[in-house]
Amino acid sequence: MNISQLFIRRPIMTTLVMVGVLIFGLMSYQQLPVSDLPNVDYPTLQVTANLPGASPETMASSVATPLEQQFSSIAGLSSMNSTSSLGSAQITLQFDLNRDIDGAAQDVQSAISKAARQLPTNMPNPPSFRKVNPADQPVLYISLNSSILPLSTVDKYAETLLAQRLSMVDGVAQVQVYGSQKYAVRIQLDPESLSAKGIGIDEVADAIANGNVNLPTGTLYGQQQNYTIQANGQLNDAASYRSLTVTYQNGAPVQLGELGQVLDSVENDKIASWYFPTKQGNKEQKIGQMGRGGNKKNNSQLLTPNSSLSTPHTQIQNPGVRAIVLAIQRQPGTNTVEVVDAIKKLLPTFQKQIPAAVNMNILYDRSQSIRESVDDVQFTLLLTIALVVLVIFLFLRNISATVIPSLAVPLSIVATFAVMLLLGYSLDNLSLMALTLSVGFVVDDAVVMLENIVRHMEMGESRLEAALNGSREIGFTILSMTISLVAVFIPVLFMEGILGRLFREFAVTISVAILVSGVISLSLTPMLCSRFLRPPHHHGDEGDEGDEEDLALASLWETLARTHRMADEEMGKNNSELLTPNSSLSTPNPQIPNRKSQIQNFQTRLYNISESFFDLLLGGYDWSLKISLKYHRTTMVISAAILVATVYLYIVVPKGFVPNADVGQITATTQASEDISFDEMVKHQQAVAAIAYRDPNVDSINSSVGAGGPNASANSGRLLIELKPRHERHLSADEIVEELRPKLSSVPGIKVFLQNPPAINIGGQQTKAQYQFTLQSPNIQELYQYAPLLENQLRNLSELQDVNSDLQIKNPQVKVDINRDQASALGLTVNQIETALSNAYGTRQISTIYASDSQYQVIMGVEPKYQQNSQALDLLSIRAPNGQLVPLNAVATLTKDVGPLTINHKGQLASVTFSFNLKPGISLSNVTGKIEQISRQILPATISTGFQGSAQAFQSSIQGLGILLLVAIFVIYIVLGILYENFIHPLTILSSLPSAGFGALLTLLIFDVDLNIYAFVGIILLVGIVKKNGIMMVDFAIEARQEGKTPYDAIYQACLVRFRPIMMTTMAALMGTLPIALGLGAGADTRRPLGLAVVGGLVFSQFLTLYLTPVFYTYMESWQTNLRKYNWQKHQLQKEEQIGKID
């Protein structure tokens, strides 16, 4: 059966089918979204609950624990982490990859409703949740500031206009406001004034709550008109509150302004954010610079990071300007580029709606680095195509003969775009890398088909007969090569977890490209050969080398024939005669023969020069092949040694997970002592930001301090450091981190933890370093006792840096020990005493101002000077039922102590998480075992341990990858066994795999690159590429054996005949991978391990396969022959025994 016959005999059908594939593929390419990676986001929800003034212990026991108990019963929940701090609790719920996030959200809402009865009744709002992973980096930062307007006014536009509208954009999870300065009326009471006037702080609270009301007041229904009743119970600003009457004394009103200060202030004056502007100046975005993806219209209105939307006279002049920063996070599973594009379309509208005095700038745009990375991969793809076509041309040495197999490349890639669109894939780094790698071997099948058809033409067949006979003869080989290569990726499709989700798109994309190339080689390639290849002019000796020479001459003659026909048409001739070797090419027009002569001379010179080189290579291979076949035992010993060395290298080569990518951003988390004041924290933070800003690689910075936004506690801060574009700096993001680390560590009183954000966020914890190790225990005191011991040991490990923990239990506290008997004797309850403390020091919201655009808080407390030490608490008085003012020290004793600043849970148990980074040159596999060993030595059995996030994923994946490789080899064996109907020949074909693995691992070791998941995929890909050489050798040898040749002669002839095709296909695959291995462009550091593994494996296996496979074939054939002879003799013996029994 000849599959290609239908396409050869129906050229119009074949042409139209390919044109249709091309058109639909190009249309699909325009519709494919752009992303950095396939969707590997775990469905994650973050629950937030607030109880202003509550201690971390109170938040953990009364808020976090009841919620956790309800959440733990939700189906598909994989991890639950909570952090309880002063007045706030955040619970992060992460679900299995296959869990639908909308269904999970419904279950979470139901669990919150069930837990509501157990929560404190004085919570201002019920717990809320968002579809967001707090560990994910925001995709866009927008800064607003003004040198004229107060920050509270700027905040009004940021929160009420921008944040609310941006939250409605499809794909946006939440808009965090860094450095929020939302307007509030702040009432700061003087305890001494209250005591002098005999007024209790609870009386002031009641007066304010009763004096600011906004209740429905009803309607008058008249006979002809209705009237709405509207009272002026609402107080709208600080001035209105100052004149509020608290009580009457001696017939005179005591106004609120007499008892302290009433200020137009902000909700939280202990948080702040600064914007350090770009050093590159403001730049307008040009049309088309946004790259592909999303909506390409109106790109002239979109902004680059740090481009200004403000008028020229309001530009930021000085660094370190106080600003309101909006950090937009996307929902898990959404496309970053599409989300950012949708947001940017709204920014020009926002600019028209805010005052000209407000500067609006994009600090950081995650989509820009994604586009740059994808654009670089696309360029690499084009470069790879050019290199592969150049390799084909250098072997065929003729342009026309190069075109036929080269057509398989664009058609295969374009057709793959259509399948990608149908499957919902995107143009991301992995899918484009798959297409880039496929370029190196999608031409293989077409080259093999072309070579075989030309060989038949040299035997005297017409081009149509040669196409029919050649395609029938070589069709099975092409089918075997294609199916066996695709079979490599079958196990990848069944991988579970994060790796399966990550590489499934890669495997499907490259498999589709390979299958399409096989179809093209069996359809379009023979059809084109039957129409455009010309019979070669036979000359020279017959033989294998002549076959190769005739192939090039056939292509050369085709070009000359076409040139002659073009000349005839220009001169008006209707000469339909075919060009023969003796035909004259002269024409009246001297330019035509000159052009023909130049082409002929160039190709002749190129052929003569290159042919001598190829002959030299073939002669050298012929000589060395005879030696290896002669000393076959030595060759087999070398093969066994390579196998052992490969296993050894696999053990010793450092293992990693996902390499870091340079996305043009690094983050710094700062932490000071737990007792630091806000003002001191600001000084330290600004010192760190100033040093970082002076670095020549840094472009702009956003700095924030205080509890809220990205910071979990008041003694922490965060810096978003945007780097200059990659082409404007000589250092990568990882190198800049190492350069900045000692500089920032020189600032006294504050610790700085730098990290290059990982390419893939795994886990829901926001930590100060990339890798995490967690302790859990039901005994919190025991946990807090041993955690510092382990932290000290981890700091001593030379492989680690930035070792830290989330354990903060040394926060200074003033404990109020209430004497219940004394309080009861004076008529006071514990509730009254704690309410008074909350009113004075709890930053308590006691009323609300309702405006048309938002709601604003009225916050009461004591003046700042009475919040500086514990002695001020003695001035606090509480009104007893008998009207007497009772000082706090009459019913309570004050003592100083320390307690937790934050309390963390994992699952429902108290936990402590250590985070750490690796020193340069250290792999993750080198430290995980040491950390586990140290923890076993120090910790009691009651404390459980485990890695989290990327470290946990690495541990679970590293074992599965080895099994995956073995399964891939086994699947290829099954496929080859089915195709050849033989148990032995698949082993012969696979005999070259150890050499490929040895070359890949040795290359990684030489270039000091971890064996990470990208490199491992490269090794799996090698399994499919390298065995193609064995298929070409063994397939030809099998045919020669059927003609009666000995195994030695069969494999010897196969090696010589297939030497040049093997060299051509291997060089094509090598050139297809070389640009990736060089590691050029944005995001190249991530792709480079895969390229190095493939290039190293190809180079080494290419040399050894040409010798190991033929020797292995002779052994297998000899063993198979002996086995058959033994079975025949055994059968004959049994037959003779049966005959003897009959006699």
Q: Report in angstroms the alpha-carbon separations of 719 from 148, 485, 749, 786.
A: 25, 48, 17, 31
Query: What's the confidence (pLDDT) of residue 48?
Result: 92
Query: DSSP letter string over 155-177?
Result: HHIIIIIIIHHHHTSTTEEEEEE
Query: HSE on the CB side for 732, CA within 13 Å?
Result: 18
With contact defined as beta carbons under 8 Å apart, do 670 and 717 qualify? yes
State the pLDDT at residue 990. 87
- Cα–Cα distance, 41 to 96 (Å, whole number): 10
pLDDT tens for 634-655 read 988 988 999 999 999 988 888 8
Using CA atoms, how far apart are residues 532 and 536, in angstroms rounded to an integer?
Answer: 12
N residues, the chain: 1143
pLDDT of residue 764: 65
Q: What is the pLDDT of residues 772-793, one digit of tens each?
A: 999 999 999 999 999 999 999 9
Residue 742 pLDDT greater than 90, yes or no: yes
Provide the 3-class DSSP secondary structure of residue 193.
helix
Residue with the larger pLDDT of the pair 274 and 1026: 274
Q: Give the count of beta carbons closer than 10 Å to the beta carbon of residue 902.
A: 23
What pLDDT is stored for residue 788 in this prediction?
Answer: 93
Cβ atoms 118, 99 nearer than 8 A: no
711, containing H or E segment: none
Short-list 993, 970, 968, CA closest to 1108 = 993
* Cβ-count burial 701-710 (b if 16+ within 10 Å, e if not): bbbbbbbbbb
Cα gap 37→430, rounded to integer Å: 6
The DSSP element (H or E) to which 370 belongs, if any, is: helix 366-396
Residue 925 predicted with pLDDT over 90: no
pLDDT digits (tens, 9 = 90+) for 542-589: 334 334 334 444 443 443 344 334 334 433 433 333 333 344 333 444
390 has pLDDT over 90? no
Name which of 292-296, 352-356, 508-512, 1089-1093 the model is least confident about. 292-296
Q: 710-725 pLDDT, tens per residue?
A: 666 788 899 999 999 8
Contact partners, residue 498, CB within 8 Å, separation at least 6 = 40, 42, 97, 760, 762, 953, 957
Q: How much of the chain, in percent, has pLDDT values that exceed 90? A: 35
CA 509/CA 504 separation, integer angstroms: 8
Pick from 39-48, 656-665, 827-836, 1103-1112 the range whose average pLDDT is largest: 827-836
Contacts of 513 (CB under 8 A, 6+ apart): 412, 413, 415, 416, 434, 435, 438, 442
d(CA 1066, CA 1056) in angstroms, rounded, equals 16
pLDDT band at residue 280, thresholds of 50, 70 and 90? low
Position 92 pLDDT exceeds 70 = yes
3-class DSSP state of 509: helix
The answer to whether residues 87 and 62 touch, using CB atoms and an 8 Å cutoff, is no
Q: What is the mean pLDDT of residues 666-672?
A: 92
Contact 59, 51 (CB under 8 A): yes
Q: What is the pLDDT of residue 602?
A: 63
Q: What are 217-262's pLDDT values in tens digits?
A: 899 998 889 998 888 888 999 999 999 999 998 889 999 999 999 9
Q: What angle do CA 646, 483, 389 make, to 5 degrees?
A: 80
Token pair listed for 141: 């930062």
Q: What gap in Å lies between CA 479 and CA 976, rounded to an integer?
A: 11
Residue with tokens 């005949």: 1057
How far is residue 578's CA from residue 565's CA, in Å, rounded to a whole number?
9
* pLDDT exceeds cutoff 80 at 1135: no
Q: Does residue 591 carry a pLDDT above 50?
A: no
At what angle are helices 1084-1142 and 429-458 packed, to 10 degrees?
50
Q: Is the pLDDT assigned to residue 605 strictly greater than 90? A: no
- Per the model's pLDDT, the better-predicted residue between 800 and 385 turns out to be 800
Of 41, 59, 42, 49, the closest CA to residue 129 belongs to 49
Q: Are strands 183-189 and 855-862 parallel, antiparallel or unpaired?
A: parallel
Q: Does the CA dihedral 999-1003-1006-1008 come out positive or negative?
A: negative
Span 293-344, pLDDT tens digits:
444 333 333 344 444 443 333 333 446 889 999 999 988 778 889 999 999 9
Q: For residues 531 and 508, give the distance between their C-alpha atoms in angstroms, rounded to a whole number.
A: 34
SS3 844: strand
Bridge partners (DSSP) of residue 95 are 77
Cβ(247)–Cβ(885) below 8 Å: no
d(CA 889, CA 819): 10
**Nearest-angstrom CA–CA distance, 665 and 754:** 11
| Tokens (6 digits) for 382 | 């084009």
Within 8 A by CB and 6+ apart from 134, the residues are: 46, 90, 92, 764, 765, 766
Output the average pLDDT for the chain: 83
pLDDT value at residue 112: 95
What's the confidence (pLDDT) of residue 317?
40
Dig out the tokens for 321 from the structure: 């300007």
According to the model, what pLDDT value does residue 854 have?
A: 86
**CATH class of the domain defined by 184-217+255-266+810-899:** alpha beta
Mean pLDDT of 401-406: 82
The number of beta carbons lying within 10 Å of the beta carbon of residue 1117 is: 21
Query: Is a pLDDT exceeding 80 seen at residue 441?
Result: no
The residue type found at 696 is P
Question: Closest Cα partner for 850 from 229, 183, 331?
Answer: 183
**Residue type (1 letter), 278:** T
With a cut of 80, say whether residue 622 has pLDDT above it.
Answer: yes
pLDDT value at residue 460: 80
| DSSP single-letter state for residue 189 | E
**Which of 408, 518, 436, 509 lies closest to 28, judged by CA?**
509
- The secondary structure of residue 1133, as a DSSP letter, is H
CA distance 779 to 943: 8
Residues 751, 685 contacting (CB under 8 angstroms): no
Q: Give me 383's structure tokens.
A: 């470069």
Q: Percent of the chain, pLDDT > 70? A: 88
Residue 56 sits at φ, ψ, to 5 deg, of -55, -40
**Stretch (H or E) spanning 537:** none
pLDDT score recorded for residue 1054 = 86
CA distance linking residue 1010 with residue 956, whole number of Å: 17
CB contact burial 733-758 (16+ within 10 A = b; e otherwise): bbebbeebbeebeebeebbbbbbbbb
pLDDT digits (tens, 9 = 90+) for 132-175: 877 678 899 999 999 899 999 999 999 989 999 999 999 898 89
pLDDT at 561: 41
Euclidean distance between CA atoms 1022 and 972, whole angstroms: 12
Per-residue model confidence as pLDDT tens digits over 967-998? 888 888 888 888 888 888 888 888 888 888 99
Q: Which two tokens stand for residue 696?
A: 């020549």
DSSP for 1105-1119 reads HHHHHHHHHHHHHHH
Q: How far is CA 516 from CA 1, 166, 347, 364, 479, in A?
A: 20, 43, 44, 40, 12
Strand stretches in 792-876, DSSP E: 800-805, 811-818, 844-850, 855-862
Arithmetic mean of pLDDT, 45-54:
88
Under 8 Å between Cβ of 63 and 89: yes
The C-alpha atoms of residue 582 and residue 378 are separated, in whole angstroms, by 47
pLDDT score for 459: 81
Query: Distance between CA atoms of 908 and 64, rounded to whole angstroms?
Result: 9
49 or 1079, which is more confident? 49
Residue 98 exposed, middle or buried by CB count within 10 Å (0-12, 13-18, 19+): exposed
Asked whether the predicted pLDDT for residue 851 surpasses 50, the reply is yes
What's the pLDDT tens digit per position in 1058-1073? 888 788 878 888 887 8
Q: Which two tokens stand for residue 462?
A: 């017409």
